Amino acid sequence: MTINTDNSSGNIADRIKEFRAACPGITTQQEFAQALGIDQQRLSGYEHGTRVPAHVLAALVSLGANPYWLLFGEGNMRKSSANEEVRDATVREISALNVSGKEFSVDQMAEFYVLPLYSDEVAAGEPLGVRDTEIEGPAVIHRSWCPNPRQTDYLRVSSTGDSMEPTIPAGAMVTIDRTFTNPDQLIGKIVAIVKHEGGVTLKRLQKTERGSYVGMPDNPSPDNLPIPLEEGDRIAGLVRTVHARLH
């Protein structure tokens, strides 16, 4: 898919502002924020380039925004029908999709979500800072793999991180389910760990005999060391799926 880079479409922040200006009955940023179910300060951040979470994208679509125009600047600003269903309040493609040469009907597409793939990278080694950047493209996820679409992020793994190979190859894409943050429920699972000094890393969570938590690599080596959870660190979520890129 070719992403529209026409300056008239701008980026997603510009398109949110453009859509707000075109919404009938809405004259202020505060009114638009209320319609989206968020506060004005958060909306202002999105309109200045802060990464937009899936549930806010879904709220924009529910107000009538065409999801492909919103994400990629393609097509008309508004959906063709104000009554189009946004299944489970997540951003997904309503029209037929072509995947590997096979046509999927609208009914068949009900089995999938289409989430935004952020251009950010997470590390599978030493923590890597996640930036608020543009959306790279669409991610087609089967419903059974994404039970919590409102709280799911789709990110690329750094091409230099090999500490989780072969489970998570360098350069793979992963979904991170942010509904799972309790470490006691995630022992033995691969999680996204946010370090207090900055950066996000993917590791398999273990509990030590002393009761502390540590992120372990699946590919241990002198360069791939355990990452202890220190004061101020947090678990961002469970790595739900891994999608490797074939070369």
Do residues 189 and 174 make contact, with C-beta atoms less than 8 angstroms apart? no
pLDDT band at 80 (very low <50, low <70, confident <90, very high): low
Q: What is the DSSP letter of 126?
A: S
Q: Say what the pLDDT of residue 118 is.
A: 75
Q: Say what the pLDDT of residue 100 is.
A: 42
Q: 31-68 as b/e, with b when 16 or more CB fall inside 10 Å?
A: ebbebbebeeeebebbbeeebbbbbbbbbbbbbbbbbb
Superfamily of 115-243 according to CATH: Umud Fragment, subunit A (2.10.109.10)
Average pLDDT, the chain: 77
Domain definitions of the chain by residue range: 12-87, 115-243
Indicate the range of 45-49, 162-166, 168-172, 241-245 predicted with least confidence: 241-245
- CATH number 3.40.1280.10 given to 12-87: no
pTM, whole model, 2 decimals? 0.62
Q: What is the pLDDT of residues 97-132, one digit of tens each?
A: 344 444 444 455 556 777 777 767 788 777 776 665
